[in-house]
Amino acid sequence: MIALLRTRAMVEFFLKGSLPKGLSAPQIGVSKRLTVCGLQGELKVLVNPVIIEKKGTYDNREYCLSLPHHQTRTIQRSQYVRLHYQDMGGMQHTLVAANSDAGLLEHETDHLNGILYIDHQSSV
């Protein structure tokens, strides 16, 4: 029950807030494969997201809400990402993103896999 309340609080935070990035459930102590992020001009709730295709690379300057005292780092991310996910109603979707949106999806998916941006080697 507590996990459900935390998950709802995370979704409600983004619905009311204006953060342009994302937040994954593990960042707030919820062991769920769920990410909420601002993508392509709208709020997306991604349940069980899986990256199924990546293409190209670019240098992305990153930071993380989980590590507010760490400096930003430049790491390589994919220029193109295709991802499968479920919405909150259980419907299956595919999402295609490029450049910074693709980097955001990789960053948030990393959180779900226990990886932080500081675990990547800096590309500069």
Question: What CATH code is carried by the domain that includes residue 6?
Answer: 3.90.45.10
Would you place residue 85 in the very low, low, confident or very high pLDDT band (cuts 50, 70, 90)? very high
Domain membership of residue 54 as a residue range: 2-119
Catalytic member of 12, 42, 106, 108: 108
More confident residue, 117 or 47: 47
Token pair of 23, please?
Answer: 């937040």
Highest mean pLDDT pick, 1-5, 9-13, 98-102: 98-102
Rg, Å, the chain Cα set: 14
Q: Any catalytic annotation for residue 53?
A: no
Tell me, yes or no, whether 18 lies in a domain: yes
Give start and end residues of each alpha helix (H) in the chain: 2-16, 99-112
Tell me, yes or no, whether 77 lies in a domain: yes
Tell me, yes or no, whether 87 lies in a domain: yes
Tell me, yes or no, whether 124 lies in a domain: no
Please report the pLDDT score of residue 1 as a whole number.
47
Nearest C-alpha neighbor of 9 from the set 62, 109, 54, 29 = 29
Query: What is the torsion angle, in degrees rounded to the nearest 10, for the CA atoms of residue 11, residue 117, residue 33 and residue 55?
Result: 110
Please report the pLDDT score of residue 66 as a whole number.
82
Tell me, yes or no, whether 62 lies in a domain: yes
Nearest C-alpha neighbor of 106 from the set 64, 77, 73, 72 = 77
Considering its fold, how many domains does the chain have in total?
1
What pLDDT digit, counting tens, does each position of 13-66 carry?
655 554 558 889 888 888 899 998 888 778 889 999 999 999 999 999 988 878
